[in-house]
Amino acid sequence: MLMQLAAIWNYLIVILLMMVGLFLVISRANLVKKLVGLSIFQTSVFLFYITLGRVSGGTAPILTDAPDTLYSNPLPHVLILTAIVVGVATTALGLALILRIRESFGSIEEDEILAAKNESAAADMAQAKPGAEA
């Protein structure tokens, strides 16, 4: 049993990271922590792909002169390069948004933002009372 698990330790780590990341996204009220969770979640997928590309006994996929060299699969690496770019963009955009949220709501805690939003909603209805804009 233990040996079996040890043989797939890379996948176990992927799953662990995945769960940790997703749990953070769902459970944290702090927006920055949410974003951290999201990054961990995405990173687990990067590892997943890299692990898939590994061929046991294979070397890095750089063309060598030896005719029977066993290469690892380079395609997942390329894919993940793209995914990393996407992940960076997501994180950057998320952080930028958090900055703006902090400026306008004065908080990055979800419950406090929610309270502020409810105030806005009440203000909407009051503002729109008949004749208010006249």
Partner 1 sequence: MNDGGLIAVFLQNLPVLVVVIPLLLAPVVAIITAPRLAWAISLAGVGGAFLAAILLQSITESIGRVTYHLGNWEPPWGIEFVVDSATSLTLVIMTGLAFLATLYARASLMSEIKHTDLGKCYAAWLLASGGLFGLVATGDAFNLFVFLEISALSSVILISIGAGADRRALSAGFNYLVIGAVGATFYVIGVGFVYAITGTLNIADLAARIADIGGGAALYAGFGFMIAGIMVKAAVFPVHIWLPAAYGYAPSAVSSLLAAIATKAALYVLARLLFTLFAGVPDITELAVTYVIVPLSLAGIFVGTVMAIYEKDIKLLLAHSSVAQIGYIALGFGLASSASVAASFVHIGNHALIKGGLFMAVGGFVAALGSRANLASFVGIGRRMPITATAFTVCGLSLAGLPLTAGFISKLYLVRAILAEDAYVITALVLLSSALSLIYLWKIIEVMWMQPAPAKAPNLAENPAIYVPLWIVALANIWFGVDASWLVAASRAAAAALLGGGL
Binding mask 54-73 for partner 1 (x = CB under 8 A): --------------------
In this chain, which of 10, 30, 45, 71 binds partner 1, going by CB under 8 A? 45
Q: DSSP states of 8-68 as a string? A: THHHHHHHHHHHHHHHHHHH--BHHHHHHHHHHHHHHHHHHHHHHH--TT-B-S---S-TT
Query: Does residue 17 bind partner 1 (CB under 8 A)?
Result: no
Least Å from the CB of residue 82 to partner 1? 6
Q: What is the rounded distance in angstroms from the CA atom of residue 113 to the CA atom of residue 65?
A: 61
**Which residue, among 102, 88, 114, 118, has the nearest Cα to 32 in the 3D structure?**
102
Query: Does residue 20 bind partner 1 (CB under 8 A)?
Result: no
Query: Which lies closer to partner 1 via its Cβ, residue 20 or residue 52?
Result: 52
C-alpha pair distances (Å), 35 with each of 6, 20, 65, 134: 31, 12, 45, 44
Binding site for partner 1 (CB under 8 A): 18, 22, 25, 31, 34-35, 38, 41-42, 45, 48-49, 52, 75-76, 79, 82-83, 86, 89-90, 93-94, 97-98, 100-101, 104-105, 113, 117, 120-121, 124-125, 127-131, 133-134
